Structure 1
Amino acid sequence: MDKRDRSTLFRERLADAMSRQGMSRAEMARICSVDRSTIAQLLGEGDARLPNAHLAAECALALSVSADWLLGLSERSETAADLLEASFRVTEAERSFADAKIDEWHREAAGYKIRHVPATLPDILKTDAVFEFEYAAFRDRTPDQAISAMRSRADWLRRPGSDYEICCSRELVESLARGEGYWRGLPKAAREEQIEHMARCCRDLYPSLRLYLYDTKVVFSAPVTIFGPLLGVIYIGGHYMVFRESRQIRALTDHFDQLIRDSDTGARSAAEVIEAMASLL
């Protein structure tokens, strides 16, 4: 950018920011520790005049805007801290599956595709018996609360235009059938019911719901949910990492799409593959 054009842009943005803050030239000069005439020169329409780096930073700090924005190097007026706060935050997660934040994010993303990698099985595909098994460790929540939240999300799948993609670990479903690891202690009848229920949902809800199974020896994913273009959420246990900046969401979406490409069981065959796991019971 030509120096004269940059000077004009700086003058206009400085005047605009001062006006929005209701800040006078005298007050601006006092905060920046310069003479009032210096501020007057910056705002004057005479010769092209740009501040040195120190004064530009002081002006930006006084007005709570970005120095890059004042100088025409950015179209975003927010400071780096404000941009970071808007694009990324860590929020506390409830120690239960019936987390109100998840329902809030689902409502916010109504009409958009939701991509989901669960920590265990997808909540919307769990039976009541599995919820009761998992909630044995929770004292402040009941299975009924989780079941109610799950049914609310399942109802979302039946609305016109709903679109839900899930990538789930094949090994986790197989360990469910065998009653091993995480599922140790869950009765065989409950495991059999869960396998049948998952297969039925995959068949009945397709294509609104598309489930893919991936091999954890080939690929890996942390629990993540991407709510359309609005936000991406990574569950880290006790907290959510919430991303709202478009490039961050795009990166998470690309990760999920690659997970689908690497899955060895596609959505069309998921029901059949899960039904076959009944032989492992």
Structure 2
Amino acid sequence: MHRHDRAELFRTRLAARLALTGMSRSALARAAGVDRSTIAQLLAGDETRLPNAHLAAECAEALGVSADWLLGLSDRPESAAEVLSANFRMATAQRTPADEQIIAWHQEAAGHKIRHVPASLPDILKTEAVLEWEYGAFLNKTPQQAHGAMRETFEWLRAPGSDYEICVSTDKLRSLVNGEGYWEGLDRDVRAAQVEFMVERCTGLYPSLRLYLYDSKKVYSAPVSIFGRLLAAVYVGQFYLVYRDSKQVSALTEHFDALVRDSEVEARNAGRVIREMFEQA
């Protein structure tokens, strides 16, 4: 931006904020620690001078806005801390399929595309037996709650216009197939039923639900869920990092879409590949 244009924008925003707050020039001058004539010069129609950083900061603090906004470096009048507070927060994660927060976000995003990278396997693709096995670690939740939550999500997927994309690493599927790592101790018959259930849902719900398989040695993703353009939540364990700023949501959406592009198995082939993986184990 040309210096003259920036000075004019500063003058316009300074005058607008003075009018909005009802603060007088004298009061602003006292708050900023300068003479009234200095404020008058900043507001003069033929003035092309910009204030120094200290004066800009003092005026911004007195008027309850950010110096970046007064100087035309930002379109948001809030301070950086206020912008962060409005567009980023931490939400408690219950780490269960019946997580009320996740269900609420699904409801909020009705009609929007949902993108999801699960921490293990997608809850919507788990059998009741697997949910019951997992729920052995949760004292304050019951398998019945998980079943109800999954039925709600399943009904959502069957509604017209539903669009759900999931990316899972092949390493996580191999762990299930071989009963290793997270899945150690889960009976083979239960794992076999789980694999077949995933195959059936990937086939039956396609294209409303699309599962892509990627190689975590080539690309990586933390667990993340993106609810249309509304919000994105990154799972870090005890908390979700929740983003609502459009640029942040867009950046995480681009990350997810890159996972889809780099996936080794496309959604239309996911069911067949998962079954072959189990048969060859």
* 1:220 is the counterpart of 2:220: yes
Q: Which residue of 2 aligns with 1:100?
A: 100
Summarize deviations over 1:208-264 as a string: whole Å, max 9, x none: 001112233333221111222222221111111222333333332222222222222
Distance 1:8 1:266, change over 3 A: closer
2:241 corresponds to: 241
**Counterpart residue identity of residue 146, structure 1:** A
User: For residue 51 of structure 1, what is the aligned residue in structure 2?
Assistant: 51
Residues 46-65 of structure 1, C-alpha deviations (whole Å, 9 max, x = no match):
54453332111100111121
* CA distance in 1: counterparts of 2:280 and 2:117, whole angstroms: 24
How far, CA to CA, are the matches of 1:270 and 1:39 in structure 2? 67
- Where 1:249 maps in the other structure, the secondary structure is helix
For normalisation by structure 1, the TM-score amounts to 0.90
**How many residue pairs were aligned?**
281
83-92 or 7-16, larger mean C-alpha shift: 83-92
Tell me how large the CA RMSD over aligned residues is. 2.2
Segments of structure 1 that go 5 or more residues without pairing to the other structure are none
Q: Once the 2 structures are TM-superposed, how far is the Cα of residue 92 of structure 1 from its aligned partner?
A: 2.6
Q: Cα offset for 1:2?
A: 5.1
Give, in angstroms, the shift of residue 4 of structure 1: 4.7
Match of 2:111 in 1: 111
Q: 1:4 to 1:254 in 2, by over 3 A?
A: closer
Shift of 1:185: 2.0
* SS of 2:266 mapped into structure 1: coil
Secondary structure of the residue that 1:91 maps to in structure 2?
strand
1:87 Cα deviation from its structure 2 partner:
3.6
Deviation at 1:3, TM superposition (A): 4.8
1:191 aligns with 2:172: no
Name the counterpart of 1:166: 166
How far 1:34 moved relative to its partner?
2.2
Given the alignment of the two structures, is residue 151 of structure 1 paired with residue 151 of structure 2, yes or no?
Answer: yes
**Equivalence for 1:62:** 62
CA distance in 2, matches of 1:277, 1:2: 62
Give the unaligned 5+ runs of structure 2: none
**For residues 178 and 73 of structure 1, do their structure 2 counterparts lie closer, same or farther at Cα, with a shift above 3 Å needed?**
closer
Structure-2 change in CA distance of 1:218 and 1:51 (3 Å): closer
Q: Is the 8 A contact 1:195 1:277 kept in 2?
A: no
Is the CA contact 1:178–1:280 (under 8 Å) kept in the aligned structure 2? no
**Judging changes above 3 Å, is the alpha-carbon distance between structure 1 residues 140 and 187 closer, same or farther for their aligned structure 2 residues?**
same
| Distance change >3 Å, CA 22–CA 146, structure 1 → 2 | farther
Contact map agreement 1:174 1:280 (CA 8 A) in 2: no
Contact kept, 8 Å, 1:177 with 1:280, in 2: the verdict is no
What residue is the counterpart of 1:179 in the other structure?
A: 179
Deviation of the 1:32 alpha carbon = 1.3
Partner of 1:36: 36
185-194 vs 135-144, which moves further: 185-194
Work out the CA distance in 2 between the residues paired with 1:21 and 1:145: 51
CA separation of 1:139/1:60 partners in 2, compared to 1, >3 Å: closer, same or farther?
Answer: same
Inter-partner Cα distance in structure 1 for 2:199 and 2:103:
24
Cα shift at 1:13: 1.0
* 2:230 corresponding residue in structure 1: 230
Q: CA deviation at 1:166?
A: 0.7
Distance change in 2, residues 1:101/1:266 (3 Å): same
After TM superposition, the score normalised by the length of structure 2 is: 0.90
Aligned-pair distance for 1:15? 1.8
CA gap 1:29/1:138 in 2 versus in 1, 3 angstroms: same
Distance 2:40 2:103 in 1: 53
1:133 pairs with 2:144: no
Distance (Å, rounded) in 2 between the aligned partners of 1:47 and 1:273: 70
Aligned residues of 1:202 and 1:210 also touching (Cα < 8 A): yes
